[in-house]
Amino acid sequence: MPIDMSDKTILKIEDLHLNFPIYQGAVHAINGVSLYVDEGEIVGIVGESGSAKSVTAMAALRLLPKGSFRLTNGNITMLGHDILKISEAEMNSLRGNQVAMIFQEPQTALNPTKTIGKQMFKVIQLHTGKKRKEARNLALCLLQDMRINDAEEILQRYPFELSGGMRQRILIGLAFACSPRLLVADEPTTALDVTVQRQVLQLMRAKARKTSTAILFISHDLALVSQFCDRIYVMYAGSIVEEGPTKLVLSAPAHPYTQALVRALPESSTKGQRLESIPGTVPKLTIKQEACSFRERCDHAHDLCVKIPSLVMSGVKTQKAACWLLEKVR
Ligand SMILES: Nc1ncnc2c1ncn2[C@@H]1O[C@H](COP(=O)(O)OP(=O)(O)OP(=O)(O)O)[C@@H](O)[C@H]1O
Ligand SMILES: [Mg+2]
């Protein structure tokens, strides 16, 4: 399905279908995902574990191991490049110079045997071509933007001498070294405690706003995504089930899955009441979905739900959901 596109679009994924061949069959991980990220926007992908948030990001960055997957349909465009066609050298140059990434397990991203300074200078010199002194100055600026006051001293330290929050702030700072147009952050703060998570994300957002960097922020935590993103995509079993501006989606979720996620937010429960959870589990991805993948867990499921619903407007132009309930009221 074609998606809205403006000149400012940095990343555009159109109707992507991707599976992983396994012994006797395949894992149908991505089933018709379309999304876009515009310049300077902070866009969230939220969904339960296994909904294909990471696989979508990895596919967009062409980081899935060759031969491990089959891409059966779709297009991916990033900064005007056809990601499915460009050479490895072009892809490397895009990833190094215009697109930065922070992944789910950041604690392993720093080399334990080298000081923070050595590692930062090397990355900065590699990506920007700066001389060592300039690289050092940039490293200090990046650390200061991440509110690391004793930056000079931190450069002398080894990763194990620092807290997880501090290491993550360093990595986020470093991700901005090449002034990327897009930062893909996959659960960048999951390993940190809640208060540190919010501090780190606020710093990341402030830096992105300052440099007009777009962020694709991936998380299973709707509360976190809602505080941080301009727009969100809600994923379920490899498909987008709802999309729209964060405030709209949160205040008036249109898809029963999003409604259940919103009800499960701590803020939405009254004191003394039990928090809601969503009964049931995500469908097996080894079976190709021919029906709405949420219907087994949905209180509103009816006859039409044996077919896959498409994303339609939920009444407000910018908000869409894939649910037959919306088709019925149109
Ligand atoms: N190499 C692979 N081979 C087979 N299946 C895979 C492979 N990589 C991912 N998958 C499957 O694809 C689906 C989506 O995985 P993905 O890691 O994208 O989920 P996620 O939404 O990022 O979950 P989480 O919140 O746990 O990070 C899962 O069912 C996963 O098991
Ligand atoms: Mg993931």
- For residue range 267-282, what is the model confidence (pLDDT) as tens digits? 765 555 655 677 778 8
**Three-state DSSP state, 102:** strand
207 and 146 in contact (C-beta within 8 Å)? Answer: yes
Residue-wise burial string across 4-34, b where 16 or more C-beta atoms lie within 10 A, e elsewhere: eeeeebbbbbbebbbbbeeeeebbbbbbbbb
Query: What is the mean predicted confidence (pLDDT) over 300-305?
Result: 90
Distance 188 CA to ligand 2 centre (A): 10
Ligand 1 and 51: CB distance under 6 A: yes
Rounded Cα–Cα distance for residues 25 and 156 (Å): 51
The pLDDT of residue 4 is above 80:
no
Distance 206 CA to ligand 1 centre (A): 30
Nearest to 170 by CA among 218, 197, 204, 128: 204
Query: What is the mean predicted confidence (pLDDT) over 25-43?
Result: 96
Distance 63 CA to ligand 2 centre (A): 13
278 and 260 in contact (C-beta within 8 Å)? Answer: yes
Rounded Cα–Cα distance for residues 284 and 29 (Å): 10
Virtual torsion, Cα 107, 108, 109, 113, nearest 10 deg:
110
Nearest to 176 by CA among 144, 150, 213, 201: 213
> Atom 28 (ligand 1): residue with closest C-alpha?
50
Q: What is the pLDDT of residues 44-81, one digit of tens each?
A: 999 998 999 999 999 999 999 999 999 999 999 999 99
Rounded Cα–Cα distance for residues 247 and 307 (Å): 29
Q: Which of the listed residues 19, 33, 55, 282 should we mutate to test ligand 1's pocket, taking the one with most ligand atoms within 8 A of CB?
A: 55
